[in-house]
Amino acid sequence: MPLPNFQTLMRPTLELHADGQDQARAALRDALAARFELTEEERAEMLPSGNQRRFDNRLAWTVAHLDQALLLSRPRRGVTRITERGLQVLRDHPTRLDMAVLEAFPEYRRFRGNEGKSPGSGDRDIWS
C-alpha cells in the first residue's frame, strides 16, 4: 500500500484520540502504520532531504493542521489530545476529514492565510 497522504491520515488520527486521553507521538505513529498496514520499508522511506522519514513527516503535518483547526491540543511536547471541537468533527464527518472540512474554522483559515474568504472559495493545495 502506498503511504497515505497527510489528509488521509486526518480522520484516523482523530479517531485514535476519541477516548479523550493524551496520545504520544510514537504511539500514534505505530497505530497508524498498523492501520494502514505499512511495511517496515515504507515506514523507513526518507524524504529527499534525507532528514526525516516520509511517514513521520506526513503525520507531523496532519497533527499541525488538526491543531490549527483546534481539533487537537498539545498539552506538552510530543503529546496530543482531542478537543470538544475534534469530537464534534468526528461525529459530523464519519467517513473522511480533509482540509476542505477544516476550512470551516476561522482559526484554520487564518493559519492557511485564507482569513476573510469563505470556506472553499480559494484554490486548494493538493499535498502528497
* Tens-digit pLDDT profile for residues 9-63: 999 999 999 999 999 999 999 999 999 999 999 999 999 999 999 999 999 999 9
Contact between residue 73 and residue 98 where contact means Cβ atoms under 8 Å apart: no
In a domain, 94, yes or no: yes
Share of the chain above pLDDT 90, in %: 87
CATH code of 46's domain = 1.10.10
In a domain, 118, yes or no: no
pLDDT at 118 over 90: no
In a domain, 2, yes or no: no
In a domain, 67, yes or no: yes
Domain ranges, residue 63: 10-112
- Alpha-carbon torsion 110, 112, 14, 62, what sign? negative
Q: Which three cell numbers stand for residue 33?
A: 502504520
Report the pLDDT value the prediction gives residue 116, as an integer from 0 to 100. Answer: 60
Number of domains, the chain = 1
In a domain, 103, yes or no: yes
Confidence of residue 117 (pLDDT cuts 50, 70, 90): low
In a domain, 4, yes or no: no
In a domain, 41, yes or no: yes
**What digits encode the pLDDT tens for the residues 57-91?**
999 999 999 999 999 999 999 999 999 999 999 99
Q: Which three cell numbers stand for residue 128?
A: 502528497
In a domain, 126, yes or no: no
What is this structure's pTM?
0.88
Across the beta sheet with 72-76, what order do the strands follow? 23-24, 79-82, 72-76
Report the pLDDT value the prediction gives residue 2, as an integer from 0 to 100. Answer: 86
